[in-house]
Amino acid sequence: LAAGAPVSAHWVADRQSGPLLLRFGTEEQRQRFLPRISRGELAFAIGMSEPDSGSDLASIRTRAEKVSGGYKVNGTKIWTSNAHLSEYAIALFRTKVVPDKKHEGLSQFLVDLKSPGISIRPIIDLAGGHHFNEVHFQDCLVPDDMLVGKDGEGWKQVTTELGFERSGPERYLSSLQLVIELIREAGKEPGERAAALIGHFTAHLVTLRQMSLSIATMLQAGQNPNLEAAVVKDVGTTFEQEIPEAVHALTGAEPRIGSGTEFEKTLGYLVQHAPSFSLRGGTREVLRGIIARGLGLR
């Protein structure tokens, strides 16, 4: 995390591709992609959401129809992060329609974004940034060797991915820069009011970091801490979204773009991006639903 610069927005950062391929990829896929991923040369766009899916990620309508040598893809993905900057995407398509069982018949693919039949349209966010895209597939052929894992097991694979997505440190890092700027602003000998807020933030950050580490430990031990990861994500997102509000309440600083101090600009960046924090990896309602299920309430 480069100090002094607002962190860049990654809704669905590409921390998934490596673990995914390690876990579900063919030997050939690993050899082809992992070295470039680990050198940081290759990033993947992530294509999960569709225009009408919202939080209901399994309601996927983009079809991948089995044809000779591969799959013929038709449909539209939205919120595809960095598709305009990436060579490949990891995408979830419907390979089989199973009536009333939307979680079945989905499969994961690696997609070469330069393939014929793909068109990419930018989505500009409210702050004027371009991180996301709508990706349209028309009779796009994806070769057989780009299927990841098993045909029809896509949902199971994806929920594992979401586990990673939900526990990662970007859960609390996006707003860390504002806390740092606040400390700088408050100076070495802050008043009681500023000190109390800095202490509050620190207590939460330290605890979130420990919670993330414990999920990582569980993952490394081969466990599948989906519930725990959802808890960490919910706690982290809720905290993160409180940060700009609490900082404003303390300082009354104006959130700025373009001009102003680093503090004001970081506040401006985060105020505008905070609404997106709870969208990455599932909305707050969906996450809390997962937790409630884990508690036995549903």
Partner 1 sequence: MNELRTILTETCTRLFTDHVTTAVLEAAEKGEWPAALWQALEENGLTLPQVPEARGGAGGSWNDAFVVLMAAGRFAAPVPLAETMLAGSILAEAGLDAPLGPMTVAPAHIDEGLSLARQGSGWTLSGRATRVPWGARAEHVVVVADAGGSPMIALVAGGHAKAEADGSLAREPRDTLVWSGAPVVAAAPLRGRLGPRPVWAGGALVRSAQMAGGLEFLLAQSVKYVTERKQFGRPLAAFQAIQQNLALLAGHTAAAGMAAQQAFHVVERTGEGGDATFEIAVAKVRTGEAAGLGAGIAHQAHGAIGFTYEHSLHFVTRRLWSWRAEFGAESHWSVALGREVAARGAEALWPHMVSR
Give the residue numbers marked as catalytic. 165
Q: What is the DSSP letter of 9?
A: -
Q: How far is CA 211 from CA 166, 260, 285, in A?
A: 12, 35, 21
Q: Among residues 113 and 182, whose Cβ is nearest to its own copies?
A: 182
Per rule CB under 8 A, is residue 209 in the interface with partner 1? yes
Per rule CB under 8 A, is residue 203 in the interface with its own copies? no
Q: Among residues 36 and 293, whose Cβ is nearest to partner 1?
A: 293
Q: Among residues 191 and 275, whose Cβ is nearest to its own copies?
A: 191
CB of 263 to its own copies, least distance (A): 19
In this structure, which long-range contacts are made by residues 201-207, counting pairs with CB atoms below 8 Å and at least 24 apart in sequence?
Answer: 201/243, 201/246, 204/172, 204/239, 205/172, 205/176, 205/179
The residue behind tokens 């680093």 is: 262
From 187, 192, 259, 295, residue interacting with its own copies (rule: CB under 8 A): 192
The residue behind tokens 């990582």 is: 216
Q: Among residues 200 and 293, whose Cβ is nearest to its own copies?
A: 200
Say how many residues touch its own copies, by CB under 8 A: 4
Q: 51 Cβ partners below 8 Å, 6+ apart?
A: 76, 78, 134
Q: Among residues 27 and 192, whose Cβ is nearest to its own copies?
A: 192
Per rule CB under 8 A, is residue 191 in the interface with its own copies? yes
Q: Among residues 100 and 192, whose Cβ is nearest to its own copies?
A: 192
The Cβ of residue 187 has, within 10 Å, a number of other Cβ atoms equal to: 9
Three-state DSSP at 11 gives coil
Distance CA 189, CA 202 (A): 16
Nearest partner of 287 among 238, 253, 254, judged by Cα: 238
Stretch in the footprint of partner 1 (CB under 8 A) among 25-33, 39-47, 109-117, 187-195: 187-195
Question: 231 to 290, contacts with partner 1 by CB under 8 A?
Answer: 231-232, 234-235, 238, 241, 245, 248-259, 268, 271-272, 274-276, 278-279, 283-285, 287-289
Per rule CB under 8 A, is residue 152 in the interface with partner 1? no
From 34, 180, 216, 218, residue interacting with partner 1 (rule: CB under 8 A): 180
Per rule CB under 8 A, is residue 199 in the interface with its own copies? no
Distance CA 63, CA 74 (A): 5
Structure tokens at 161: 């991915």
Q: Report what 181 binds from its own copies, partner 1, none; CB cut-off 5-8 Å by kind.
A: partner 1
Going residue by residue from 17 to 56, which x/- string records binding to partner 1, judged by CB under 8 A? --------------------------------x--xxxxx
Backbone angles phi, psi at 132, to 5 degrees: -125, 165
CB of 144 to partner 1, least distance (A): 32
From 193, 203, 206, 213, residue interacting with its own copies (rule: CB under 8 A): 193
- Letter for the amino acid at 52? D
Please compute Rg for the chain using Cα positions: 21
Where do contacts with its own copies occur on this chain (CB under 8 A)?
Answer: 191-193, 196
